[in-house]
Amino acid sequence: MRQTGRSHRRSPGRELFAPRQVYLRTGPVSQYVALSRSLQIAVAAGLAAIALWLGVASYAAIAKHLETVEQGRELARLESVAKTLRAAVEEAQGDQSANGNAAAEADLVTEVAELEDSRERALMLADAAAGEADALRREVALAYERVRELEVALLKSELDQAAPTSFAGGPADTAQWAGGPLDELSCPP
């Protein structure tokens, strides 16, 4: 009988997540742990979700940091302009006694006052952004801690789901294979 092309092909996902058995041998005792396709897919999906979440959290923290840096630059520029205008006002005041140019002085004083207001607003925005950046840093630290907790829980779950069986005829010693040294680790072809 002739087989179709579909029966000869294997999907990459089936080969990647094929059921596997991990054999453990300690002295004369051989044991194995079965890793089902669903367990492998669940672990891979969990790790992918954690990596995606960490990427998004890191991007948000970096974006907030860059925003704070940009606000700091704007604040420095405004302070520089304010210093320049103060120097111009002082120069104008010195020239006013000689020239009597009161209108120019009034304009410069108004500009200095407006720049002072802009500077204060920029300082408030920078303080708010710094507070938000600190909050994001704390959230990222908590996220990393939660990821570590999830990894430990995932490993415990894998160990709980993987029930060892003995090939030497005796009952499986879970304390020995779960925490003891491994002499040989192999997967069947």
Q: What's the average model confidence in pLDDT over 59-78?
A: 91
Domain for residue 184, yes or no? no
Q: Which CATH number does the domain housing residue 71 bear?
A: 1.10.287
Least confident range from 33-37, 86-90, 148-152, 157-161: namely 157-161
Domain for residue 22, yes or no? no
User: 149 or 104: which carries more pLDDT confidence?
Assistant: 149
Domain for residue 96, yes or no? yes
User: 69 or 165: which carries more pLDDT confidence?
Assistant: 69
Number of domains in the chain: 1
Question: pLDDT band at 161, cuts 50/70/90?
Answer: confident
69 has a pLDDT exceeding 50: yes
DSSP for the chain, written as a single string: -PPPHHHH---HHHHHT--EEEEEEETTEEEEEEE-HHHHHHHHHHHHHHHHHHHHHHHHHHHHHHHHHHHHHHHHHHHHHHHHHHHHHHHHHHHHHHH--HHHHHHHHHHHHHHHHHHHHHHHHHHHHHHHHHHHHHHHHHHHHHHHHHHHHHHHHHHHH---EESSSSPP-HHHHHHS--SEEE---
Tens digit of each residue's pLDDT (9 = 90 or more) over 106-154:
778 888 888 888 888 888 888 888 888 888 888 888 888 888 888 888 8
The distance in angstroms from the start CA to the end CA of the chain is 28
Domain for residue 187, yes or no? no
**Domain assignment of residue 120, given as a range:** 35-170
CA dihedral sign, ordered 58, 64, 68, 70: positive
Domain for residue 119, yes or no? yes
Domain for residue 25, yes or no? no
| pLDDT at residue number 185 | 44
Domain for residue 135, yes or no? yes
Domain for residue 29, yes or no? no
